[in-house]
Amino acid sequence: MVSMEEFMKIGFVFYSESGHTLSVLNQLEKVFQKKGHFVEKISLLEGYDIKKRVLTFFPKVKEFEFILFASPVQAFSLSIAMSQYLKQVQLKESQKVGFLLTQYFKKPFWGGNRAIKQMKNFIQDFHPIILGEGIVHWSSKERDTQISSVVDKLGSVLDE
Ligand SMILES: Cc1cc2nc3c(=O)[nH]c(=O)nc-3n(C[C@H](O)[C@H](O)[C@H](O)COP(=O)(O)O)c2cc1C
């Protein structure tokens, strides 16, 4: 456990249609909580019209000491909901961020790499400090190992 002075407020802003991305976040949330941090999970799904492809929910995130943006890969790209969100998001200069993607295919060149690049491009003007990023390949035999390793990696980005 960390002391109260080291307690940090973490935001997970995520889009998860079938629950894969959310299930990884739930594990990560536990890791941060065990370390004494506070995690707020903010879902974009309820504010997104899948048929019309329009997002109407734009939560503010400047208050968080670390924000993790998490999304599935869709059509070899970042999901439209997360794209619409990141196009307009206001960050603090040099705010700490991380990225998590899940995708069906086993290799990151089937959309995962591109999606992470898109996330970075959308927020680059704020010069964010990128503390970590990870992709989980859902159809891989190694999926559980990938999840553990991503959760370990992202879960330790705030450690001293
Ligand atoms: C409309 C749609 C498009 C998708 N396109 C891709 C793709 O291009 N590449 C890929 O690897 N997976 C693709 N997938 C699979 C999802 O990325 C994968 O199942 C992901 O883990 C879903 O996460 P979620 O349950 O959090 O929404 C697609 C899924 C949907 C519904």
What total of structural domains would you count in the chain?
1
**How far, in Å, from the CA of 8 to the mean position of ligand 1?**
31
User: Is 160 within the bounds of a domain?
Assistant: no
138 belongs to a structural domain: yes
Strands 48-49 and 66-74: unpaired
What pLDDT score was predicted for residue 3? Answer: 54
Q: How far is residue 26's CA from residue 148's CA, in Å, rounded to a whole number?
A: 12
For residue 120, give the CATH number of its domain: 3.40.50.360
Structural domain of 122: 4-155
Q: How far is CA 90 from CA 30, 123, 148, in A?
A: 27, 8, 31
Position 107 scores a pLDDT of: 86
The answer to the question of residue 12 being in a domain is yes
pLDDT at 4: 54
| pLDDT at res. 109 | 84
Q: Is 104 in the pocket of ligand 1 (CB under 6 A)?
A: yes
Query: Could you tell me which of 139, 141, 150, 144 has the C-alpha nearest to residue 103?
Result: 139
Q: What is the pLDDT of residue 5?
A: 57
Give residue 63 CA to ligand 1 midpoint distance, Å.
30
Per-residue confidence in pLDDT tens, the chain, 160 aa: 555 557 899 999 999 999 999 999 999 999 999 999 999 999 999 999 999 999 999 999 999 999 999 999 999 999 999 999 999 999 999 999 999 999 999 988 889 999 999 999 999 999 999 999 999 999 999 999 999 999 999 999 999 7
3-state secondary structure at position 131: strand
Query: How many Å apart are CA 118 and CA 103, to the nearest integer?
Result: 15
Which residue reads 């290799």 in tokens? 107
